[in-house]
Structure 1
Amino acid sequence: MRRPVPAASAPHVPVLLDEVVAALALPGAQLTIDGTFGAGGYTRAILAADPDVRVVAIDRDPAAIRGGAALVAEAGGRLMLVSGCFGTLDEILAGQGEARADRVVLDIGVSSMQIDQPERGFSFRNDGPLDMRMGGTGPSAADLVNEADEAVLADIVFHYGEERRSRAVARALIEARRRGRIETTAQLAEIVAGVVRSEPGSGIHPATRTFQGLRIAVNDELGELVRALHAAERILRPGGRLAVVTFHSLEDRIVKQFFSARSGRAVQASRHAPSALPGAGEAAPRSFRPVTKGPVLPSDAETARNPRARSAKLRAAERTDADAPEPLAAIQALAALPEVPRGGARR
């Protein structure tokens, strides 16, 4: 029996931790993939739950990779921490000399570590450079805000941020950048607050949805999620489990529809497309069976301890012995920016 991983002092505790570990049914699993390592909360719990399990953990944030070095050392050869995007988790697994895994866990979205670092530009709580890049490479949020067309900005803010006044936000950004480049989170928040009003008593900053939309676009978060779901489907052994924690409706919709389609139910591509089953006219392979009945939500006690948990939802499913079908176009469509009518709701 391998030496268990000791508990960290004052560790970061991810949301729905006990529920995730239970959904993964870890005893007996030989290899687990943590596709979103972050501060290592899930990985540490997985290693502690079974002294024989090995973990391949993935993160595209260089800071997370550096921060996980101590846990790698503690794990005594049971943890491989890899820099990369979880959308390519099957390729990353192959790069570690493995073909199949027993469990996959994904915690979608921005981490509290990233939000708490002003220099990363994810939050307006403290002024910082308008960056938002999880991996530190590619175009930043500042590049997008200062260079994208007005229509593109409006679609990003509307579809990814779910901001009804996206057209007003886009117009305000275009006007502001005529006076000079928008470089900081405070600048962006002030511009958005000039055209969006928070609902009384909501406690939600008027720029929240705009920041969300830009962050998702900069990091292709929904596209990464879609690719990760299909990649997990390809590498999970029969009886293997996939657990996904989401934090807003766009992510949850993708996971819900993916599991629905792969368990033989209809999938709704978007508000603007009809429902469809994969392989129309023939029996669709059922590659997953549900583990959770609907989403698992955090307890009142957890949300009291950690307000970030309020919007979290866990969904999990078990891999069948069916071959992995082709990727679902309807699910891929959920991650894309659709052509949205320029109606009054977006003025």
Structure 2
Amino acid sequence: MEQHIPVLLAESIEMLNIKPTGIYVDCTLGRGGHSSEILKRLTSGKLYSIDQDPTAIEEGKARLTAISNNFEILEGNFLNLEALLSIKGVFEVDGILYDLGVSSPQFDVPERGFSYRFDGPLDMRMDPVNNLLTAAKVVNEYSEEDLKKIFWTYGDEKFAPSIARNICNSRPVNTTFELVEIIKRSMPQKELKKPKHPAKKTFQALRIFVNNEIEVLKDSLRQGLNLLKPQGRISVITFHSLEEKIVKEIFKEVTVSEQDHFLASLPIEVESNSQFRLVIKKPIKATTTELNKNRRSHSAKLWVIEKK
């Protein structure tokens, strides 16, 4: 199993502007890298870390307990951010972190079916208990047109039509390696010689669709903005263009009002009446040092917003 190195760790924690007495949420506990760094900076403050994977929760609890007891792990999907916190009597927070990378401890476990590098059942569910939709169901039961749309929309896969057609002609498709072979047959030879794995985009598309990741992110981000105290911040680490688009749209939505467009046309500078401000105008990317150490950081971008 590949060693997990938290992406943009120093930058994302620094941008949260952590108060030792504050309340913070890590919406994506994963292997606990970001949560650990937040917890180290708290004295009487509290950290709430969210994950829906039982193994991640078990590993995270052991790692965080070694630092301090000022934390609670909440089992669930960050789609239910406000509900999970309200159960604990928390209705306002000083900071929230989202690391949207696929760093689940189970991601490299063949039985979970996420990876094109290992042979396993076509599953791909982040929450195997409550989510009934598997990648196998999508691949084997959805129409050719629906598959083409999924691969194009969520993976930007230019060979989506031939991949969808060949999947439908090869059913049943039961394992990750069977799907990889179909994808390879659907591409010209010159494409297979490129450094990137030919199945990368199709697998990404299936994972996003199975876990409804785009709608979940939209809903959760809006909840996060509602929870912020004045001067509270949200740090979001994205990894692909779909996530970037959502973050940009929602951040723009809350930082630029119709009145702001009018104010911008005036010959004098007038302060915006929006509730939020962008802490950085352009997203932060990994340094050359990090890029050399961690291949996962190549597509990572950090976005930060603050409540005024």
TM-score by length of structure 2 reads 0.89
Aligned to 2:277: 289
Question: Secondary structure of the residue that 1:317 maps to in structure 2?
Answer: strand
- How far apart, in 2, do the equivalents of 1:286 and 1:73 lie? 40
Contact 1:56–1:79 (8 Å) recurs in 2: yes
Q: Does 1:24 align with 2:24?
A: no
Aligned length: 291
- Specify the alignment match of 1:304 in structure 2: 292
Residues 1:156 and 2:124 aligned together: no
The within-5 A match list for 1:132-147 is 132-137=124-129, 138-147=132-141
Change (3 A) 1:29 1:241: farther
Offset, 1:130? 1.0
User: What is the CA distance between 1:75 and its match in structure 2?
Assistant: 4.6
1:196 is displaced (CA, Å) by: 2.2
Correspondence for 1:169 among 163, 173, 195: 163
Task: Check 1:139–1:187 CA distance in 2 against 1; reply closer, same or farther (3 A cut).
Answer: same
Aligned pair partner of 1:92 in 75, 80, 84: 84
Quote how far apart the aligned CAs of 1:150 are.
Answer: 1.5
In the superposition, relative to structure 1, how do residues 264 and 135 fare at CA in structure 2: closer, same or farther (>3 Å)?
same
Superimposed CA distance per residue, residues 159-212 of structure 1 (whole angstroms, 9 cap, x where no aligned partner): 0011012121111111111xxx21110001100111124647641111111000
Secondary structure in structure 2 of the residue aligned to 1:240: strand
Q: CA deviation at 1:115?
A: 3.0
> How far does residue 58 in structure 1 lie from its aligned partner after superposition?
0.3
Match among 152, 174, 181 for residue 183 of structure 1: 174
Q: Which residue among 208, 226, 232 is the counterpart of 2:218?
A: 226
Q: Is 2:2 the counterpart of 1:14?
A: no
Q: Which amino acid aligns with 2:143?
A: D
Q: CA deviation at 1:109?
A: 3.7
Q: What is the CA distance between 1:149 and its match in structure 2? A: 1.6
1:67 matches 2:67: no
Structure-2 residue corresponding to 1:56: 48
What's the secondary structure of 2:19's corresponding residue?
coil
Distance 2:135 2:302 in 1: 29
Counterpart of 1:339?
none
Deviation at 1:86, TM superposition (A): 0.7
- Indicate conservation of the 8 Å contact 1:233/1:287, yes or no: no
Equivalent of residue 103 in structure 1, options 90, 95, 100: 95
CA displacement at 1:59 relative to structure 2: 0.6
After TM superposition, the structure 1 stretch with the greater mean CA deviation from structure 2, 119-128 or 105-114, is 105-114
| Cα shift at 1:79 | 0.9
SS at match of 1:47: helix
**Residue type of the alignment partner of 1:306:** N
Q: CA deviation at 1:19?
A: 0.2
| Separation of aligned partners in 2, 1:75 and 1:227 | 32
Aligned-pair Cα RMSD in Å: 2.0
Amino acid in the other structure paired with 2:181: E
Alignment of 1:184-263 (within 5 A): 184-197=175-188, 199=191, 202-263=194-255
| Map of 1:324 onto structure 2 | none
| Superposed CA offset, 1:58-110 (max 9, x none) | 01112211212213533543110011111211111101111111100001142
Compute the TM-score of the two structures, normalised by the length of structure 1: 0.79
For residues 294-333 of structure 1, what are the structure 2 equivalents within 5 Å?
Answer: 294-320=282-308
Residues 245 and 314 of structure 1 are in contact (CA less than 8 Å); yes or no, is this contact kept in structure 2? yes
Cα distance in 2, alignment partners of residues 28 and 71 from structure 1: 20
